[in-house]
Structure 1
Amino acid sequence: MARSLNKVQLIGNLTRDPELRYTPNGTAVCSFGLATNRGWTTDTGEKKEEAEFHRVVAWNKLAELCSQFLKKGSKAFVEGRLSTRSWNAQDGSQRSATEIIISDMIVLDGRRSTVEEPEEVEAETKKPEKSKKTDKKEEEKDQPEVVNEELQSEVSPDDIPF
């Protein structure tokens, strides 16, 4: 039997806010648009760029996460499969759409909302606990120095209340 592969990986920006809905049986489904672009130089040396627009659909817990963490303009990595569906429109015409049904999503934006930043910084500074047999000097040597330049650049002396 011949093998085949239906896998899509994209990095792009959301063209609209994610739309979270629930099916009648309570299954979460989230849809959004994702724009990707490519650039090239023609034989004459002219730089060209073209955009592609993709329909993206997430189901279940991933749908809820997409709705929670993505917004219009967000940069995201999505991975999934192509799916084409067909239906009859209200005017009687036959319609079809090709969508990317995702199984994985990673938010690639560098900034998060201010509510999430303190938790994010705290998570970055924590390190896994070592066994009690570990020497204290060895533990200090292995601990990485955590520097969050993004937060440092956001704080000015005028922001400090004392």
Structure 2
Amino acid sequence: MTDLPEHAPRYFEDYVPGLTVDCGAFSITEAEIIAFAKEYDPQPFHIDPLAAAAGPFGGLIASGWQTTSMMMRLLVEHFVSPESGLGAAGVDEIRWPKPVRPGDTLHVRATVLEARRSSSKPDRGIVRSLAEVTNQHGDTVMRVTAINFVRLRNHPAA
């Protein structure tokens, strides 16, 4: 269920368990994969198409960290609200079950799993969410569970 406009401010009260937000899509090119990997993850299956063809994935693939970074951009644009986002407490789990290949178009979706008020800070809540990235075939290529601090819309005065 997506019940808020795309760029609507969201506060803790809006992140109800079950809320699912389509965060859009992006495509990735061979040149982008190689450029990112040369800078941040220079393994042969990310930077050298010939070596990658003979490697464990049978071709060039994107770094999982590149997929994560591109996913994060869409989460910030469509799910995390600048009016209330107070940063992340961390990531419980991150998985890349299938490789991302040049030419793939990836779709990002975020779902609220749990939301609870902070017991130590009355102006915020803690939201645990699942972000999923799927390719154009519907295959899951990334999944991450994260915990964020989110400001309450109307919080008690201190």
TM, length-normalised to structure 1? 0.24
Structure (1 or 2) with the larger CA radius of gyration: 1
Structure number with higher strand proportion: 1
- More relative contact order in 1 or in 2 (CA 8 Å, sep 6+)? 2
TM, length-normalised to structure 2? 0.25
